[in-house]
Amino acid sequence: MHILGPGSLGLLWAARLQLAGIDYRLIVRNQQQLESWQRRDNQLLFNDGSQRHALTLALETAAHDTPIKQLIVATKAHTALAAVQLLQPRLAPASDILMLQNGLGAQQAVARACPGQRLYAASVTDGAWQPAPGELVWAGRGRTTLGPLSADTDSPAWLQTLPPALFDWHWQNPIMPTLWRKLAINCAINPFTLIYDCCNGEVPERAGAWLTACLTELEQLLRQQGIDDDLTGIVHQVIRNTATNSSSMRQDLHAGRRTEIDYILGYACRQARHDGLPVPALERLLQSAQICLQQHQLPTD
Ligand code: KPL
């Protein structure tokens, strides 16, 4: 198994595969990144929530030439396509690609670039973070809901080799409704936490009627995709459950990292325009988020 991207999610996959004794390689960005890991003897201090493990990771760069049978793409949405394209010569027609990105757009771009491979996509609720280089904390054990992006296929056999104690995965076919639902929740919370620079729990009070209007539009957009959900109820529940959390988008803003706005709210607005559905509250939210990003000298896409 190959994991692409040594961010928190990629490291979480690597650490769990290592603990499970499953052969894997974690593909890092370049030689420089590989050398900085090698200076630390490829050591990862992994806190699984109750125990600490000192793990020696199996790392390589894209320049390696061993064939890739299963590729777990754990990069950010905006780097996924270019990173997968670098590995294309190593993929066989029977290779599987599992995309773990937030939002939508990156999965479809990779599917277009790799028409010969089987593509799966996942919605991940695990929480992991890196307190320092070479350290990873699995702060919240979550679930990986995954399924085929388009074709109606069964779950691949390699998924069964993942021990349930480490990988709480759930097969969902089709997966698109799950990805859309997650995207709609992220649209309703994350951009507001960006523009008000607030925790999730403050969003209803700060955004007021604007949040209500966005939820109505998102519910209509979901209905156009064949999903009839009480999004308002779900979003308020997520807000209550994560009230003191800083959303992933706000964390990116504070860390000076490019956000996934274009793959979340940008994607929703583009889909609404494509469907001929007016979404003025969401368009206004997108513009406000982009202004906020500009003010922080961050890309608006
Ligand atoms: O998934 C989230 C994120 O921070 O990206 C939450 C806040 C739970 C919902 O938007």
CATH of the domain at 208: 1.10.1040.10
Are 109 and 222 contained in the same domain?
no
Q: Which of 125, 190, 234 to mutate to test the pocket of ligand 1 (most atoms within 8 A of CB)?
A: 190
Q: Which of 231, 238, 257, 259 to mutate to test the pocket of ligand 1 (most atoms within 8 A of CB)?
A: 238
Looking at residue 89, what is its pLDDT?
A: 94
Domain with 287, as residue range(s), is: 178-295
Distance from the CA of 179 to the center of ligand 1, in angstroms?
13
Q: Tell me if 203 is assigned to some domain.
A: yes
**Which residues does the chain have with pLDDT short of 70?**
none
Of 128, 31, 27, 133, the closest CA to residue 83 belongs to 27
What is the atom index within ligand 1 of the atom nearest the CA of 242? 8
Looking at residue 150, what is its pLDDT?
A: 86
CATH number where 105 lies: 3.40.50.720
Q: Tell me if 199 is assigned to some domain.
A: yes
Q: Which tens digits make up the pLDDT trace of 65-93?
A: 999 999 999 999 999 999 999 999 999 98
Q: Distance of CA 119 to CAs 86, 103, 136, Å?
A: 17, 16, 28
What is the atom index within ligand 1 of the atom nearest the CA of 238? 8
Domain boundary among 148, 173, 198: 173
Are 273 and 221 contained in the same domain?
yes
Looking at residue 154, what is its pLDDT?
A: 87
Are 51 and 126 contained in the same domain?
yes
Q: Tell me if 221 is assigned to some domain.
A: yes
Are 162 and 282 contained in the same domain?
no
Are 28 and 164 contained in the same domain?
yes
Looking at residue 38, what is its pLDDT?
A: 97
Looking at residue 90, what is its pLDDT?
A: 95
- Pocket around ligand 1 at a 6 A CB cut-off: 185-186, 189-190, 200, 238, 242, 245, 247-248
Q: Tell me if 300 is assigned to some domain.
A: no
Are 214 and 268 contained in the same domain?
yes
Domain boundary among 153, 173, 193: 173
Phi, psi of 291 (to 5 degrees): -65, -45
Are 168 and 230 contained in the same domain?
no
Q: Which tens digits make up the pLDDT trace of 258-278?
A: 999 999 999 999 999 999 999
Domain boundary among 151, 173, 195: 173
Looking at residue 152, what is its pLDDT?
A: 76
Rounded to 5°, the CA angle 85-253-181 comes to 65
